[in-house]
Chains A and B, each alone.
Chain A
Amino acid sequence: MKLLKPGEEIDGFEIEACLHAGGMAHIYSVHFAQSANGMRREPEFSMAMKIPRMTAGDGAENIVSFEVEQQILPSLTGPHVPRFVAAGDLSRTSYLVMEYVKATTLETWAENFHKENFQTGLHDRAIARLGAELAHAIHSLHKQNVCHLDLKPANVLIRPNGKVVLLDFGLSCHAHYPDLLAEELRKAVGSPAWIAPEQVVGVRGDPRSDIFAIGVMLYELATGELPFGEPATTGGMRQRLWMDPAPPRKRNLNVPEWLQEVILKCLHPEAAKRYPSAAHLAMDLRNPEQILITERGRQLKGTGFKEHFKRWIKAAGMHYQASPLASRQIKEVPILMVALPHADVSDATWYSLREAVDRSLGIRPGARLACVTVISPSDTSSIESDKSESSVHRMHLARMQQWSQALDLHDHQISFHVLEASDVANALVTYAQGNEVSMIIMGAATHGLQMQRFVATVPIKVAMEAPCTVILVKQDVPFEFLGTLNDE
């Protein structure tokens, strides 16, 4: 399709200017055209029109991927995707009109980031913040049954407030729609530098493929290099089925161990050994100090030749299972949150909460647990040293850790969080929302449920406003244990 000039009209949209002439499509800024009666509709937000190039020389995939995007974009909602406005009839004029998000691409962001930071030491917290926002955005897609499958810096927008918007759903996969890009020959569909190993062998629709792509981007941010380069052949892409990339710390010693741990976990060749959901990843990136660092995080040398050779043999026969609905898959690995009271708490309460958490984790392998306690801002003081913020927080963290000792954790990840807020219910609900928590477990009595008759109590407020299930635990403790459980 030839370039359109400003003022030209398509189906009631008037071209303003060409924003981008890419290999696949032209992007224009547009506004509503004047209607017959001379009126012009004012849009609620700036709009962009995407028109595929689709000239005779372009491959069929270009056209199909445009059709895929045209199917998927209108189905998506939320702040992490551009809002859909209109789509053209594919057999006549193909186009998509969507919200024009004024933001920087991760590509540009990363360039500036590297310019500023490689001299002054690495700002790993900035990487973690961005990574958490990115993971949060991806999780919102997965909840809507869509896997992006073409995540790369050019498709990630960062708003001035740090929030992430995802673009380009041309290679995405919607679990409720026939996948037009799947085919019997199962060839690799994706961008060579960021594509996950299972995508290389033609498996589409696993949310953990997107986790892999986040890993590649974090690697790039941390080291300035791509973990697997930009292979031009299928053979080159297949490398990632068996090869571990060089540890980020080998390329840049300023990368902290926890960040390497996270990145290499995202980049695991086997999807099942990566983070099970983007929400889990976001939680780690928001709490770096609580990441359990293993040999993977510490290593400076890469995986040896012998190990790689063994895996190369194994990869030759590698078989990836097609995955069930994305939303169902991430529901199986929820984040549970337990609200632990911090004052006036009886042994029975601690005991009952632990019982409830144990039961809830027991039937959900792969779930992770966030232990949260809310303290009043007046509990800390910047003047008195024994009430300094860090010492008060440390005290509460230690209490929660002590509580968790007797939990049956197996392979459940656990983390501890002290929130300072005067409105306890609001703090808990906000935390649950921000961290994609699927279930809140809290004590009924300790938070004053019996006072509900007179005032709106914390448990009821949480139950009413929480974005998820809330379990209110009542005390139940065997008599002989009383007084022996919590010797404080």
Chain B
Amino acid sequence: MAHAKAQGIDRWALLGDLVGYGGNPQEVVDTAMRLADEGAWVIQGNHDALAVKPPVDDQSLGNSTAQWTHDQLGVSQRGFLKALPLIALSGPLLMVHASAHVPERWHYVDTERAADLCADHALQAYDARHVVVGHVHQQTVYYRGTGHSMMRFEPTAGAPVPMPAHRRWIATVGSVGQPRDHQPDAMYAIYDETAGRMTFHRVSYDHQAAAAAIREAGLPEFFAERLALGK
């Protein structure tokens, strides 16, 4: 957040999955609540939904943490997560955790086909030409060039990418703290609406402290380990 603030941002958008794998859910939700008060868009992710209502009989690795997270959170925090919207709209820009195609089904936008579906839905249902998405833990741009379907582009961290207003595009901005590309650095992106440019960033953070919190909480070792490995 300090890195983004230094770039002079006007408004935050948190694209969901505030909680789920981490060892400090209370702290995270409190921060999100504070940001929301200050005008941030906060979107619900699948892990947030799970934490509100953990599955009863499913004991898979991911879901076991949902119960733990649920127990950690206070009533107001759970209420906050529960009340989060699935989408937010700002002019031609749609913000959503997973695909705009049936958001509550949490479809991944990880292929050009999925991007096509997502973009078409965004346009039809919300009249949105641009979509920013979380869910997949990767930084990717899908854009429409001269062809008829979406093309995939992998941005270079720190290099501004032209994403002009008149074009249709989708950006998956990656995740803060759960990268999957074998580098531990956190991912986020800044969109400059006036210039029509998005810059994807990688920022180092104290992933050892985050891992320690996970271990201290007694969560599975795997969740602590993967932070440093970035997978």
Contacts and interface: CB of A to CB of B under 8 A. Distances in A.
**Are A and B associated in one complex?**
yes
Interface of A: 60-61, 64, 67, 71, 90-91, 175-185, 325
Given A90-B166, A178-B141, A184 B149 contact: yes
Contacts of A90: 164, 166
Nearest to B145: A180
Given A183-B145, A183-B146, A325-B156, A178 B151 contact: yes
Contacts of B161: 176-178
Contact of A182 (B145, B159, B164): B145
B155 interface: yes
A71 B153 CA distance: 16
Given A60-B146, A176-B156, 17 more contacts: A61-B146, A64-B146, A71-B162, A175-B156, A176-B155, A177-B161, A177-B162, A178-B143, A179-B145, A179-B151, A181-B145, A181-B146, A183-B147, A184-B147, A184-B148, A184-B149, A325-B156
Among A71, A90, A180, A185: residue with most chain B CB under 10 A: A180
A325 B153 CA distance: 13
A116 to B, nearest CB: 43
A61 B147 CA distance: 10
B172 to A, nearest CB: 14
Contacts of A183: 145-147, 151
B13 interface: no
A88 to B, nearest CB: 13
Interface of B: prevailing SS: loop
A67 B148 CA distance: 18
Contacts of B166: 90-91
Nearest to B149: A184
Main SS at interface, chain A: loop
Contacts of B165: 91
A60 B146 CA distance: 7
A298 B205 CA distance: 61
Contact of A184 (B151, B156, B162, B169): B151
A91 B147 CA distance: 20
B159 A180 contact: no
Contacts of B151: 178-179, 182-184
22 contacts: A60-B146, A61-B146, A64-B145, A71-B162, A91-B166, A175-B156, A176-B155, A176-B156, A176-B160, A177-B162, A178-B141, A178-B143, A178-B161, A178-B162, A178-B169, A179-B151, A180-B145, A182-B151, A184-B147, A184-B148, A184-B149, A184-B151
A82 B163 CA distance: 24
A17 to B, nearest CB: 31
Given A90-B164, A91-B165, A91-B166, A178 B153 contact: yes
A185 B146 CA distance: 10
Interface centre among A90, A177, A184, by most chain B C-beta atoms within 10 angstroms, is A177
Contact of B153 (A67, A179, A181): A179
B140 to A, nearest CB: 10
Interface in B92-141: 141
B156 A180 contact: no
Interface in B72-108: none
A91 B181 CA distance: 37
B156 to A, nearest CB: 5
